A and B are shown apart, each in its own frame.
Chain A
Amino acid sequence: EIVLTQSPGTLSLSPGERATLSCRASQSFRTSYLAWYQHKPGQAPRLLIYGASSRATGIPDRFSGSASGTDFTLTISRLEPEDCAVYYCQQSGRSPTTFGQGTKVEIK
Chain B
Amino acid sequence: QVQLQQWGAGLLKPSETLSLTCAVYGGSLSHFYWTWIRQPPGKGLEWIGEISHSGSTSYNPSLKSRVTISVDTSREHLSLNVSSVTAADTAVYYCARQTTVTTPHTSYILDLWGQGTTVAVSS
Contacts and interface: CB of A to CB of B under 8 A. Distances in A.
A90 to B, nearest CB: 8
B7 interface: no
A47 B47 CA distance: 15
Interface residues on A, range: 20 to 34
Contacts, number: 67
B46 interface: yes
A84 B108 CA distance: 26
Most B Cβ at <10 Å: residue of A51, A97, A100 = A97
A76 to B, nearest CB: 19
A68 interface: no
A32 B105 contact: yes
Interface stretch (B8-16, B24-32, B110-118): B110-118
B58 A95 contact: yes
A88 B47 contact: no
A56 interface: yes
A101 interface: yes
B94 interface: yes
A99 B58 CA distance: 16
Interface string A85-96: 010101010011
Interface of B: 35, 43-47, 50, 58-61, 94, 96, 98, 101, 104-111, 113-116
- Which 4 pairs of residues, A with B, have the shortest CB-CB distance? A44-B113, A32-B105, A97-B47, A51-B107
